[in-house]
Amino acid sequence: MLHDIKRVAVVGGAGYLGSALCLHLLDLGYEVASIDAHWFGDEAISSLRSRPSFTSRQIDALHADEVTPLLRGCQAVVWVAGLVGDPACDLDPGFTYGCNYRSALTLAEICKWLGIERFIFASSCSVYGQSNEVARLTEESLTNPLSFYARDKLVCEKALRAMSDETFHPTILRLSTLFGWSNRMRFDLVVNVLTAKACKGETLEICGGGQRRPFLHVKDAARAFASVLSSNLPLVSNEIFNVGGVENNHRILDIANFVCSEIPDTNVEYLSDVVDRRDYDVDFSKITDALSFKTAFSVPEGIAEIRGRMSQSNGINITDSVYINEKTTRQLINEIRRNGYHHAPMVPGLVGSAA
Ligand SMILES: NC(=O)c1ccc[n+]([C@@H]2O[C@H](COP(=O)([O-])OP(=O)(O)OC[C@H]3O[C@@H](n4cnc5c(N)ncnc54)[C@H](O)[C@@H]3O)[C@@H](O)[C@H]2O)c1
C-alpha cells in the first residue's frame, strides 16, 4: 500500500467484482467509498457497513452533481461499473451508451477536475474478439471486438488514455472472464453457470466448445486492482494490462470437463451451433513482469468453491434475474420506459437503501 493513497472510490462497488474488491481493499487498510446504482440491490456489501473505513451511496455515476462531493478526499477512483456482458448491452444501445461510456467518461472528467490522479478502468479481454493468431495476444496485438459491449470498452479505453496528462493517470485492466463466488453472485458467467447447473443435476449444453478463453477468479481480479493501486505511477500511468494467467487459458469444453470431474455423472450435450464466437488466447507477461502479479486460483478450484457454496445455499434459484445481468437490465429498461430515468432506479422486488 502506498502512503499517498488512503481513500479509494469503487464505482460499481455493490457488483460481482466490486463487492469483492471493496472487501479486499478494506482488508488491505484502505478507506473505501462504494458508489453504485444498486441495480442488483446492496446485499453484497451489507456486511461491510459495520466497518468504519467503509461508506456506500446509491448513486448513478452519470449524476455528476451527486458524485462529485463523494470523490473529494479520494486519491484514486476505480471503475468496475456499467452494463456488463454482450446480451445486456445489446438490449438498448442508448441506455448502454449512458451507463457505460458517458458515465465512465463523466467520472474521469470529475477526477481530472478534482485533481484525483489515479483512475483504474475495468476493460475486458473481449476486445480481442475472435483471433486467428497462433501466438498469444499481448496488449499490442490487434483488437477485433465482436459485440457492442466490447466495442464500447475499446472506445472507453481510447477516450480515457487520450485524457492522460501530468495530472491524470488512467490505467486500463483488460480482465479475463471472471469466475468464482462473490457476495453478488452472477450465474451468467460460463464457469459459474455450468457448475451451478451441474449441481442442480441439469444437462450442460455446450455450443461449439472449441473457443479459447482466458479465465480469472473474481478474488484475483480484486488483487490485480490492488496491485495497480500499490504500484508507483510511472509503472501504471496510461498503461494497458491484460489480467489473468496462462494456466487459466482454456477452451469452453475444458470447462465442461472440469465440471464433470468435480461433479461426476453430469450430462453434457454438445451442440454444433457456436453462439458466442469469442475465441482468443491471451498473454499475461506484461502484468507479471511489471507488477509481479500472479493469479492464485485455478478454474477447478473455483468450480469446487462454487459447488461448496451451492450446497450451503439451500434451493438457490440460479435463474432469478438478480443473478443474470440480461434479465435485470430488461427489467430496468422497462421501468425506465414507464417512469423515466430520474434517479438510479431499483429493480422491483429488490430491497436496497442508500446509506
Ligand atoms: N464479470 C466479468 O467476467 C468481467 C470480465 C471483464 C471485464 N469486466 C468488467 O468488470 C466490471 C465489473 O463487472 P461485474 O461482473 O462485477 O458486473 P456487475 O453487473 O456485477 O456489477 C456492475 C455494478 O455496477 C453498478 N453500476 C452499473 N452502472 C453504474 C453507473 N452508471 N453508476 C453507478 N453504478 C453502476 C451496478 O449496479 C452493479 O452493481 C465491469 O466494468 C465489467 O465490464 C467484467
Domain residue limits, the chain: 7-184+215-246+278-295
61 Cβ below 6 A of ligand 1? yes
> For residue 194, how far is its CA from the centre of ligand 1 (angstroms)?
21
323 Cβ below 6 A of ligand 1? no
Confidence of residue 258 (pLDDT cuts 50, 70, 90): very high
Residue 312: predicted pLDDT: 92
Q: Which of these, 229, 3, 253, lies nearest to 117 by C-alpha position?
A: 229
Confidence of residue 342 (pLDDT cuts 50, 70, 90): low
H runs (alpha helix) in the chain: 16-27, 64-71, 86-90, 93-97, 103-114, 148-162, 190-199, 218-229, 233-236, 252-262, 285-291, 299-312, 325-339
Strand partners of residue 28? none
> For residue 268, how far is its CA from the centre of ligand 1 (angstroms)?
30
Residue 277: predicted pLDDT: 82
> For residue 334, how far is its CA from the centre of ligand 1 (angstroms)?
20
β 7-11/76-79 pair status: parallel
143 Cβ below 6 A of ligand 1? no
Question: What mean pLDDT comes out for the span 52-66?
Answer: 94
67 Cβ below 6 A of ligand 1? no
CATH topology of domain 7-184+215-246+278-295: Rossmann fold (3.40.50)
278 Cβ below 6 A of ligand 1? no
Helix 190-199 with 299-312: angle, nearest 10 deg: 50
Percent share of the chain, pLDDT over 70: 95
The pTM (predicted TM-score) of the whole model is: 0.94
What is the Cα–Cα distance from 347 to 38, expressed in whole angstroms?
9
Residue 38: exposed, middle, or buried by beta-carbon count in 10 A (0-12, 13-18, 19+)? buried
What is the Cα–Cα distance from 2 to 103, expressed in whole angstroms?
28
